[in-house]
Structure 1
Amino acid sequence: MAELHVELVAADRRVWSGEASLVVARTTAGDIGIMPGHQPVLAVLKSGPVTIRTAGESGSGTVSAAVHGGFLSYTDGKLSLLAEIAELSDEIDVERAQRALEQARAEDDAEAERRADVRLRAVSAGH
């Protein structure tokens, strides 16, 4: 089966790198799924969960991340997700994210509420 090489990079670090058979991300034009052989694309990422269906010698699995803004670029079998902020689902402190969501709702802070919600959705997608 054909694979694509994926690099998920945040402003401060490389978050994940590897081979995948499918990546789903949220862009300003809506959700997009990238598979091997996809036409070249450049898109602006919106905050949302990114799901990577991994492939390779160790078998398949799923990697989920919370991504907050950035860009997506796919060409020649290589997908780059360049995010302002990105966290793998297993790096997210669920209790902290829930507290942040409750506090954002109490303070009517839509931006903070969106970030906390994305983190919680990434954790849900990763399980």
Structure 2
Amino acid sequence: MNTLALNIVTPNGSVYSTEQAELVVLQTEGGEMGIMAGHIPTVAPLKIGAVRVTIDKKVEYIAVTEGFAEINGSSVAVLVQAAEESDAINVERAQQSLRRAQERLEQDKKENIDHHRAERALHRAINRLDVAKYR
């Protein structure tokens, strides 16, 4: 089977890399996108979600924040602010982040809290907890 390279990069460097991806599934602003070897060149904006990677019929999950994916026939470069493999997610810390975000959103009703920032933090925490289920 044809494979493609996948590299997930944050400002701190590469978080995940493989040369053997059979299928990469991204959560784009336009919906879910599946990529296989030979895919047409594309640049796609990503939303907070999971990147699913199939290697030897085994699926791996990586939680990512917003960013972009650059796709060509033989590789996928994912550029995001933060990314974590499912087995690297600290569930307790993610649950704490979720509680803090929920509290901020409740404060928003009473104070001048940055609602958009609190919502993004909430979505990131929920995404990390969802991806952590695939350990």
- What's the TM-score once normalised by structure 1's chain length? 0.88
1-structure distance, mates of 2:70, 2:45: 9
Runs of 4+ in 1 over 4 A off after TM superposition: none
Question: Corresponding residue for 1:23?
Answer: 24
Q: Would you say how many aligned residue pairs link Structure 1 and Structure 2?
A: 122
Query: Distance in 2 between the 1:123 and 1:33 partners?
Result: 21
1:13: how far off?
Answer: 1.5
Residue 108 of structure 2 corresponds to residue 99 of structure 1: no
Tell me the C-alpha RMSD between the 2 structures: 1.4
Partner of 1:107, secondary structure, is helix
Matched, 1:82 2:83: no
Contact 1:69 1:84 in 2 (8 A): yes
- Give the greater-gyration-radius structure (CA): 2
* Identity fraction in percent: 36
Other-structure match for 1:14: 14
Unaligned runs of 5+ in 2: 106-117
Q: Matches of 2:54 and 2:82 in 1, distance apart?
A: 20
Local SS of the residue matching 1:100 = helix
> Secondary structure at the residue paired with 1:110?
helix
Matches within 5 A, 1:1-127: 1-18=1-18, 19-55=20-56, 60-108=57-105, 109-124=118-133, 126-127=134-135
Could you tell me the TM-score, scaled by structure 2's length?
A: 0.83
Deviation at residue 27 of structure 1 after TM alignment = 1.0
1:113, 1:26 → 2: CA distance? 17
The residue type paired with residue 30 of structure 2 is: A
